[in-house]
Amino acid sequence: MLDEILSYREMCGKENVQTLQRGMNFRLNPNYSVILMSQRKNASYNNKIYENGLTIEYEGHDIAKTSTRIDPKNIDQSLEYPSGRPTPNGLFVKSIANYKSGKQKPERVKVYEKVISGVWSLKGIFDLVDYKIVEDGKRKVFRFILTHSGLQQLETNQAVSLVPRSRLIPSEVKKAVWKRDGGKCVICGADDELHFDHDLPYSKGGTSITTANVKLLCARHNLQKSDKIE
């Protein structure tokens, strides 16, 4: 099972951009949006992937810190900038409203998750289907709901790596495996085009995921392995 790992530069390359600075990137590409997420304990936002791996709850983004006197974490997240232009939260909310009223299909969102600093994994393609506004104790935040789109092709002229069910490898396991395998393919030592490889395909009953049955493989050795299975 694949779970593609990318360096920051590879991730930007895939999205045809020089840099990806923001977590929420509405229509980064003509057919889809991109979000970056972290579930790490020190992450600035509280995001989670549900146990089944099919649903993500993604926190909206704060207002910019424009002066040292304001703490964005104490201020309600907003739909608009002071200029009246929509924030990424506003763009997401509008697209959800359009979807719910039947004006458009759900916005497609490609989700990347930070494994460790500079290392990202592609979680797959999700549909932006809903949101809620929650009171987090001191202010209002948006929580966007994304559900996995299944196996779909985003672009016709670019092969998009699809990630069947592999998103179920928990971040903690990924971090431990990355460290254990030294960020290299365990067979040839290549340090690019790496994937987290899960030993027991879900279709064959593989369930519990521990560091013992996950390893790092380069694309070439991953392909060889899938050839063998099929």
φ, ψ of residue 94 in degrees (nearest 5): -65, -40
Compute the least distance from the CB of residue 217 to Zn ion, in Å: 6
For Zn ion, the closer CB: 162 or 219: 219
d(CA 35, CA 27): 10
Instruction: Mark the segment that binds Zn ion (CB under 5 A) among 1-9, 38-46, 69-77, 221-229.
Output: 221-229
Q: Which amino acid is at 153?
A: Q
d(CA 14, CA 33): 13
For Zn ion, the closer CB: 3 or 62: 3
Q: Are strands 119-135 and 107-116 parallel, antiparallel or unpaired?
A: antiparallel
Binders of Zn ion in range 172-201 (CB under 5 A): 185, 187-188, 190
For Zn ion, the closer CB: 146 or 185: 185
Nearest to 33 by CA among 144, 194, 134: 144
Q: Are strands 32-37 and 107-116 parallel, antiparallel or unpaired?
A: parallel
**Interaction of residue 215 with Zn ion, rule CB under 5 A:** no
For residues 3 and 121, is the Cβ–Cβ distance under 8 A?
yes
Compute the least distance from the CB of residue 205 to Zn ion, in Å: 26
For Zn ion, the closer CB: 3 or 57: 3
Instruction: Mark the segment that binds Zn ion (CB under 5 A) among 23-31, 35-43, 174-182, 216-224.
Output: 216-224
Which stretches of the chain bind Zn ion, using CB under 5 A? 185, 187-188, 190, 218, 221
